[in-house]
Chains A and B, each alone.
Chain A
Amino acid sequence: MLNSYLPAIVFLLLGGVVGTAFALMNGIFGPKTNRRSASKTSPYECGLPSDVQQGFRFGISFYMIAMLFILFDIEVIFLYPIAVKLKEFGAFALVETSIFVALLFVGFGYVWRRGALSWR
């Protein structure tokens, strides 16, 4: 079983080795002066002066979308195993899944109706 994952393991190892190598080379060959100067430790934002002030907080919309994403993410995860067994169980599986999805659609409708999906 492990043989089928060998390419993935090699890929992970290679990624780790290359990443570590470059990070180390940076320390060895880079200029040694001003290791922790103010400009080096400040947040980097595409080379422009940062627009965001200290104590920055994300908008509430980020949390709404993230939370709702996870809820519907979990729903979809449930559908995968059912889909594999759909042919075997036939109409029964379809009805059960329909109830499952219908209940979540009620939630989806509520969320939509309340305007939680529109960006504020």
Chain B
Amino acid sequence: MTPLIFFIASIGAIAGAVGVIALRNPFYGVLSLVGHLLCLAALFLLLHAEFLAAAQVIVYAGGVMVLYVFVVAYVGGSGESLGASHGWLRILTPVFVGVLLLELMVATLGSGLKAIGTEGADIQASFGSPAEIGELLLTRFLFPFEVASLLLLVAAIGAVGLARRRSGFTVGDAPLDAAARSVSPPKGSGTMAEAAGDRPVFGGKVGDQ
């Protein structure tokens, strides 16, 4: 049963990865990526890494993909498919992909050939359990763990900074909420009222300005 699930999940993961680059519609691309991540979660389960599988589904397939869908909806959905690249990109892309493929093949063959004829990776029963990960976080990876919080802090500040620039506000340090009520965002900022067309915009009608 385990080999069967391994092969189904592996084929699914590869098919999902191919789908991401092969499908022209970005929405289908994101959906394909969700399938790919779910298959990876299944592979984690086969490695007894239940916590990792759950985190994969909750954070990636759940959270990050929702953001991807939002971004796709924002920059243009099914209507505009990704066009073909042109100019020097057409030459550089295959070179980069080729080099990356070669590197991966060398790495995979190097470690993969050694594993043939053995029992596979030596996995203890506690491998991938929350307790094991917690111990590693508090001992070997303590510094990266603390740095991660700093990284998340920077990301939060960056997100707010980007959103401020996107809405076109330049009102000093005043809370955005108050600013939003007094200043209408420029056209194309993507407010819900704008999308609906004739709804009131920040205390007035669209036609008022």
Q: How close is A115's CB to chain B, nearest CB, in angstroms?
A: 4
Q: How close is A85's CB to chain B, nearest CB, in angstroms?
A: 4
> When the two chains form their complex, are residues A75 and B197 in contact, meaning their CB atoms are under 8 A apart?
no
> When the two chains form their complex, are residues A64 and B160 in contact, meaning their CB atoms are under 8 A apart?
yes
- Comparing B25-33, B99-107, B114-122, B140-148, the segment that makes contact with chain A is B140-148
Q: Name the prevailing secondary structure of the A interface residues.
A: helix
| B196 at interface, CB cutoff 8 A | yes
Task: Give the size range of B's interface with the partner.
Answer: 35 or more
- CB within 8 A of B135: which of A62, A85, A101? A85
A81-B132, A114-B175 known, 17 other contacts, Cβ within 8 Å: A53-B195, A57-B74, A59-B191, A60-B190, A63-B67, A67-B155, A70-B64, A71-B155, A71-B159, A73-B59, A81-B131, A100-B148, A103-B150, A110-B157, A114-B176, A115-B177, A115-B179
| 10 A-B contacts (beta carbon < 8 Å) | A51-B196, A58-B70, A63-B67, A63-B163, A66-B67, A67-B159, A77-B58, A81-B131, A92-B138, A110-B156
- Residues of B whose CB lies within 8 Å of any CB of A are 1-2, 5, 45, 48, 51, 55, 58-59, 63-64, 66-67, 70-71, 73-74, 130-135, 137-138, 142, 145-146, 148-150, 152-153, 155-157, 159-160, 163-164, 166-167, 175-180, 189-192, 194-197
